């Protein structure tokens, strides 16, 4: 059966809200609209109970205690809060912070701001497979290092970093580990205790929850609690660490999304990895000059980042207008800049520009994968024919005896 068009294969950018999460959210817009900060009546109590229930659901997903979570507006805010707060609270201990070249812009810009304020910043390179080199990490750490921020799963190439080993190295030097887990939470098993993660950023809209809601986990158990200071001050919500009336419907949706993810992660991961392999194999069987970006196994099940050597990604996307995908460029301006992640893997500008990111998710079907593969093959072939140099004129047929 032909799939319904257009097809959505951009699940790393955002995901639809799961209908089960949406249903749970709805009463909190109207019937149960109370402010959880209202302590004097039932409207407030009900809202507060719903918020705390969601906190438990999210905590269970990552192996945290509910009281270790602070609701935020998403991973951008959580990353900024974690990094800024750590830099301020631990300034006495040291002024050196470490991260990697493939982090999300919300981490990289937070670090850039700290560098402007006089902190020492190290941005570690990654290998061609997107993995952080643990020896380079070890060598970068000093007694002045207070924080290392390494993402759990990359949003472009899907690569998963070995957080457990990273945390061991980081803790040996007395520093703390922050991980941006926006793409990883609910997709792969994560446990802040066993993996030794001190701070973790979450956002709901990448795991079938609503946009504009996320959380920061900051360790309070197991050793000295992580110290924080707020970015937003006012009513003293979230133990004074993030003021502002809580977005109760969104929090309820985030909690249900986290619970569903926890229950369905294993099976969904297997299904998506199967579909991803199907897509990859179909493309590989029909096209030459195809390159997989990122480690072939240590990656998110729904991620496939491919460079189509010699093909302009923007032209490819235009040809694939009924398949929603991302390219390897930030097309925020007239001349797109190649993705910093692909550049960090060592790709040339041309190869970065010839990259497509396929992001498969909860509602991706085999029919959609097949359609996307067929269309991609067709468009890549057409573009390659167009850009192929005209056949050389036959050499002058000089007589052999001349
Ligand atoms: C989407 C994303 C973010 C930003 O999350 P928002 O909730 O949209 O602010 C941060 N880091 C990674 C890895 C992401 O994929």
Total count of domains within the chain? 2
Same domain assignment for residues 228 and 108: yes
Q: What is the pLDDT of residue 329?
A: 73
Is 122 a member of any domain? yes
The residue out of 236, 259, 282 marking a domain boundary is: 259
Mutate to test the pocket of ligand 1, among 178, 183, 231 (most ligand atoms within 8 A of CB): 183
Domain interval for residue 38? 19-259
Same domain assignment for residues 164 and 116: yes
Region 321-338 average pLDDT: 78
**Percentage of the chain lying above the pLDDT 70 cut:** 95
Same domain assignment for residues 131 and 239: yes
Region 194-221 average pLDDT: 98
Is 36 a member of any domain? yes
Tokens in use for 371? Answer: 């359609």
Is 401 a member of any domain? no
Q: What is the pLDDT of residue 402?
A: 42
The residue out of 259, 279, 296 marking a domain boundary is: 259
Mean pLDDT of the chain: 95
More reliable by pLDDT, 361 or 390: 361
Model confidence, pTM: 0.95
Same domain assignment for residues 36 and 101: yes
Helices (H), 218-312: 248-286
Tokens in use for 173? Answer: 């030097």
For residue 69, give the nearest of 260, 255, 262, 263 by alpha carbon: 255
Region 373-391 average pLDDT: 89
Tokens in use for 127? Answer: 């290998």
Same domain assignment for residues 246 and 346: no
The residue out of 206, 240, 259 marking a domain boundary is: 259
Helices (H), 176-224: none
Whose CA is closest to atom 15 on ligand 1? 155
CB 143, CB 174: distance < 8 Å: yes
Give distance in angstroms: CA of 203 to centre of ligand 1: 7
How does pLDDT run across 62-102, given as a tens digit for each residue? 999 999 999 999 999 999 999 999 999 999 999 999 999 99
Give distance in angstroms: CA of 355 to centre of ligand 1: 20
Same domain assignment for residues 26 and 131: yes
CB 101, CB 124: distance < 8 Å: yes
Give distance in angstroms: CA of 354 to centre of ligand 1: 24
Same domain assignment for residues 195 and 209: yes
Same domain assignment for residues 102 and 145: yes
How does pLDDT run across 110-159, given as a tens digit for each residue? 999 999 999 999 999 999 999 999 999 999 999 999 999 999 999 999 99
CA atoms within 13 A on the CB side of 147: 33
CATH for 230: 3.40.640.10
Mutate to test the pocket of ligand 1, among 155, 182, 302 (most ligand atoms within 8 A of CB): 182
Query: Could you identify the residue written with the tokens 């229930």?
Result: 53
Distance CA 198, CA 216 (A): 10
Q: What is the pLDDT of residue 396?
A: 54
For residue 203, give the nearest of 77, 82, 303, 304 by alpha carbon: 77
Choosing from 5, 139, 330, 331, the catalytic residue is 331
């Amino acid at each position: 059966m032909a799939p319904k068009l257009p097809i959505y294969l951009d699940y790393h950018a955002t995901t639809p809200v799961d209908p089960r999460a949406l249903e749970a959210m709805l009463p909190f817009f109207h019937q149960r609209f109370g402010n959880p900060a209202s302590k004097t009546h039932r409207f407030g109590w009900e809202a507060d109970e719903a918020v705390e229930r969601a906190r438990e659901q999210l905590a269970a997903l990552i192996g945290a205690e509910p009281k270790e979570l602070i609701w935020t507006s998403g991973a951008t805010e959580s990353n900024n809060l974690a990094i800024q707060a750590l830099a301020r609270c631990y300034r006495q201990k040291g002024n050196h912070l470490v991260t990697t070249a493939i982090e999300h812009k919300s981490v990289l810009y937070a670090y850039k701001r700290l560098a402007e304020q006089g902190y020492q910043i190290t941005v570690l390179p990654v290998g061609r497979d997107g993995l952080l080199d643990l020896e380079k990490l070890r060598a970068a750490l000093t007694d002045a290092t207070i924080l290392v921020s390494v993402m759990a799963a990359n949003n472009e190439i899907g690569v998963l970093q070995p957080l457990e080993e990273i945390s061991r190295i980081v803790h040996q030097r007395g520093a703390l580990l922050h991980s941006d887990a926006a793409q990883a939470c609910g997709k792969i098993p994560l446990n802040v205790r066993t993996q030794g993660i001190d701070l973790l950023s979450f956002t709901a809209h990448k795991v079938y929850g609503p946009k504009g809601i996320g959380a920061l986990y900051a360790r309070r158990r197991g050793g000295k609690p992580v110290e924080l200071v707020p970015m937003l001050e006012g009513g003293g919500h979230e133990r004074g660490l993030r003021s502002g009336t809580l977005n109760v419907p969104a929090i309820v949706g985030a909690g249900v999304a986290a619970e569903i993810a926890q229950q369905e992660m294993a099976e969904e991961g297997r299904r998506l990895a199967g579909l991803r392999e199907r897509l990859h194999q179909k493309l590989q069987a029909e096209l030459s000059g195809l390159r997989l970006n990122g480690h072939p196994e240590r990656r998110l099940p729904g991620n496939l980042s491919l460079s189509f050597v010699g093909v302009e990604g923007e032209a490819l996307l235009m040809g694939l207008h009924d398949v929603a995908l991302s390219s390897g460029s930030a097309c925020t301006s007239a001349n797109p800049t190649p993705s910093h992640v692909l550049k960090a893997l060592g790709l040339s500008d041309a190869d970065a520009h010839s990259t497509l990111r396929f992001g498969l998710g909860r509602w991706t079907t085999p029919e959609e994968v097949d359609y996307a593969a067929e269309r991609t093959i067709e468009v890549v072939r057409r573009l390659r024919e167009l850009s192929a140099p005209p056949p050389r004129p036959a050499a002058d047929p000089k007589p052999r005896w001349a």
